[in-house]
Structure formats: C-alpha cells, structure tokens
Amino acid sequence: MEVAIAGAGPSGLFAAVALARRGHRVTVVDRDAGPSDDGAWARRGVMQFHHPHGFRPQIAEALRAEMPEMLDALVAAGAEVVPAPGGLGSPAGAPALRCRRSVFERVLRAFATAEPGVTVGQGHVDDVLRSGGRAAGLLVDGRPLAAELVINASGRSARLAADVRAPAEGGDCGLAYVSRQYTLLPGAEPGPMNAPIGIIETLTGYMVAVFLHDNRTFSALIIRPADDRRFAALRSSAAFETASMAVPALAGWVAPDRSRPISPVLPGGRLHNTYRGQLDGRGRVGLPGLLHLGDAVCTTNPSAGRGIAVAMRQAVNLLRLLDEHPGDPDAVALAFDEWCTENVRPWFADHVYWDTDLLRRWAGGDVDVTRRLPSDLIMEATEADPALWRVVGPYMAMEALPSSLDEVEPQARAIFAAGWRPPLHPGPTRDELAELISLPHP
C-alpha cells in the first residue's frame, strides 16, 4: 500500500519505518529540511526540540519491538539506557533513555532516511487530497502526492483536514517552561538526583528539574505559571543563572565548577493539554483512509514527560489495527478511536484536573479535601504512607491508567485531611525568586 505521512517528528518517522518493514511504500513529508550540512538543526515550528525530554520505558519498548537497531544507534550516539523500575519519577521498570531530543530525532531521522521503502521529503502539507469520499493523498506545496492511506502526524498544532474531525478538547495548560542546556566539566560528577531523569522538585509556587541527557549533557528547567509575567526576565542568561544558583536542586548542577552552559536560555511557548479523536462531530469516520497520530491526537503538559510515550503507544496500536483490518480503513479508524478514547484520553483528563488544581495551589490555595485529590497529591502522599506505592507506582510508570488511583484516593485524601502536607524543598518561594531575578545581575 502507498502511505503518505504528514510530519516527520517522532510519531511520523516511527510509523514510517514500521510500515515500510511491513511491506508498504511510505512517503513522509515535513516542512523542516532536517539538519543542515554543518550539523545545525534549528527545527523551527517544533518549539520543544531543544527543551529537555524524558524518554520513558514505553519508548525503548516500542523501538525494541519495531527497530531494535535504533536503540543500539542511540547508545552509539551517546544515549544512556537506564533502569526506571517505576517510570521516570518513581524509585522502582523497564529501561528509560537519557538523551537530548535533538539526538533522538537525528538518529530516528537517519534511520528513516536509510530505510528501504521510506522516502523522507521536504515540503509544506497544504491539505489532504480527497477522491470518491476518501483520502487520496496529500497536497504538498500545491502538488499532489497520491496515497491509499494518509497519516496526519503533524504535531500539536495539527490543522489538517479539520473539517472532517470533531474539534479538539482542552487548550493552554497554564504553565510555562524555561530551560538551558549544560555540559558537565571534565571529571565533574553529576549533581543531586531523586529520579531516573535526574532531579525534580516542587517549591512554593513553581517547580524545577534537571534532566540528564547523552554525552554528559543535561538541562536545567524551571516551570512556572505562564501568566506570571515577572518570569519573562528569565530569558536573560544572567537572570536564569541567578535563579538556578538560588535553588539548591539546580545549583548543585549548574555551579560553574561543575558545568558550563552549551545553549542560550530557551524560553518555552504555551503548553497545552488537548485531545482530539479520529471521528467527526457526529461520531462517524469523517474521511476514510485518513488517520491521526501522536500529538495530533493528544498533547499533555510535558512536566510529567508523557508525550512521546503516549505517541509511541498510539503508533504501536495503530500498527496492530492496520494488521488486523487490511483494506478496511473505516474499521481501523473506528477501532483506533475507541482505543485512544480508552487509553489516551484519560492521560489528557488527568493533566487537566491536576494542572487546574496545581495552579490554584500555586496561587496560594490549600489542598482541597472536599473533592477528589489530583494525581500529583496522591503521588505526594506516598511519602506519608509508602504502602500507597503499590498502586501509585504503576500509574507513575504509565503501566496503569489514571483511574487506577481511585483505589487509594480516599486513603490519600484522609492523609491530607488529617493535616499532613508534603515537606517543602529548600529554596526561595516564587515571589522571592521573582524579586531576585528583577535585581540587576552581575
């Protein structure tokens, strides 16, 4: 079968290689030309490209199932395969990858480009071609690219064929990223860690994290409410360094005797929690032969590092459904939509509830014990009662859906209702940090 894929991000390239290995001829089209001859890759339009990514075990599992050589190639490029027994943030699973997103995508792109049966081309996808009431290919820079199956893997702002799809749910999640990449100095040890990615800590009104990557590189990250304009100042290197040195979890990494920056400060655009199914507003297949994949289906606040894991799971299940229903695009779309509704949408709903409540608490509100606790507080409650790990661990590892937490939510809520609160991590409050970065910097 001739397949056309819009978007050569992780979803589009993974699907392309896997489909080609099933005997299909696949053309992937992206507006991005790929790395330039000197190795630079700005990747305009994918703002997260240089921001830190945690690569959960589901990603390594999908690669191992479909293209095991890519794992070897990632390791050869400097990525580290690390045990993550309970997922990225928990103490106890399958291996995760420590690697810059740019390294992951370079290796994946090189794989797809070298794969017999895959063509990776450059061009802007203007629309999905239609013929006889079904998808017939892509319109690329005004020229037709004929295909029997079309996959929209064009990412979180996907607008392709919007008229045959019910509108997206959700929107801006209200949080914003600002990060910077560093390299450890020769002989320097990594800084403090409390998770397979590195370290992640919540302070009063904001959150910080360090993600260890490949080749002794890492990213320092500050996550704050998007509408707190005082933090726009963090775009300056001096302000970012001042803020990082003021927070012990970051200072232990970015101190000048341990590391040096290798990128400018990277401000993040708006972060989204969105979900969009495969079907039209009436619950029917809008355009047979067109499927949506990856962030074009679901994006979640990246602070839990779920995006590519969700995208890979989608891709693995889409491949299974294409194998199960050869030549029946309606059946594939309906079954894939049902699978996404049951297995993807809950991660979106989880984050919407979590982020709304987090922003309320970051604005000064206390834990609300009159209603269901959001997932972050149920995770926090494991500190007070480690027995909760039995249920919380699989959720954190994304081995169990958010609804699995229902079993222990009343127990966790009782802990908070009795007055327990998570211990505060050392460092300035958000107001104190805002004050610090507003001062003139040396």
Q: How far apart are CA 271 and CA 171, in angstroms?
A: 8
Nearer to ligand FAD, 46 or 150 (CB): 46
Strand-pair category, 266-267 with 134-140: unpaired
Rounded to an integer, what is the distance from CA 75 to the centroid of its chain? 21
C-alpha triplet 417, 419, 424: angle, nearest 5°: 125
Q: Which candidate, 143, 147, 123, 124, places its Cα nearest to that of 134? A: 147
Nearer to ligand FAD, 3 or 415 (CB): 3
CB of 192 to ligand FAD, least distance (A): 19
Which amino acid type is present at position 417?
A: A
CB of 190 to ligand FAD, least distance (A): 18
Q: Which two tokens stand for residue 306?
A: 């779920």
Nearer to ligand FAD, 153 or 279 (CB): 153
Which amino acid type is present at position 281?
A: G
Nearer to ligand FAD, 48 or 278 (CB): 48
Query: CB neighbours (10 Å) of residue 360?
Result: 14
CB of 336 to ligand FAD, least distance (A): 15
CB of 244 to ligand FAD, least distance (A): 18
CB of 314 to ligand FAD, least distance (A): 9
Nearer to ligand FAD, 66 or 295 (CB): 295
Contacts of 334 (CB under 8 A, 6+ apart): 278, 279, 285
Nearer to ligand FAD, 263 or 411 (CB): 263
CB of 99 to ligand FAD, least distance (A): 11
CB of 14 to ligand FAD, least distance (A): 8
CB of 61 to ligand FAD, least distance (A): 13
CB of 303 to ligand FAD, least distance (A): 8
Nearer to ligand FAD, 24 or 100 (CB): 100
Nearer to ligand FAD, 332 or 344 (CB): 344
Q: Write the secondary structure of the chain as one string of H (helix), E (strand) and C (coil).
A: CEEEEECCCHHHHHHHHHHHCCCCEEEEEECCCCCCCCCCCCCCCCHHHHCCCCECHHHHHHHHHHCHHHHHHHHHCCCEEEECECECCCCCCCEEEECCHHHHHHHHHHHHHHCCCEEEEECCEEEEEEECCEEEEEEECCEEEECCEEEECCCCCCCCCHHHCCCCEEEECCEEEEEEEEEECCCCCCCCCCECCEEEEEECCEEEEEEECCCCEEEEEEEEECCCHHHHHHHCHHHHHHHHHHCHHHHHHHCCCCEEECCCCEECCCCEEEECCCCCCCCCCCCCCEEECHHHCEECCHHHCCHHHHHHHHHHHHHHHHHHCCCCHHHHHHHHHHHHHHHCHHHHHHHHHHHHHHHHHHCCCCCCCCCCCCHHHHHHHHHCCHHHHHHHHHHHCCCCCHHHHHHCHHHHHHHHHCCCCCCCCCCCCHHHHHHHHHCCCC
Nearer to ligand FAD, 94 or 436 (CB): 94
CB of 248 to ligand FAD, least distance (A): 23
CB of 59 to ligand FAD, least distance (A): 7
List residues binding ligand FAD (CB under 6 A).
6-12, 29-32, 45-46, 48, 51, 53-54, 124-125, 153-156, 177, 268, 271, 294-295, 302, 305-309, 311
Nearer to ligand FAD, 276 or 413 (CB): 276
Nearer to ligand FAD, 15 or 408 (CB): 15
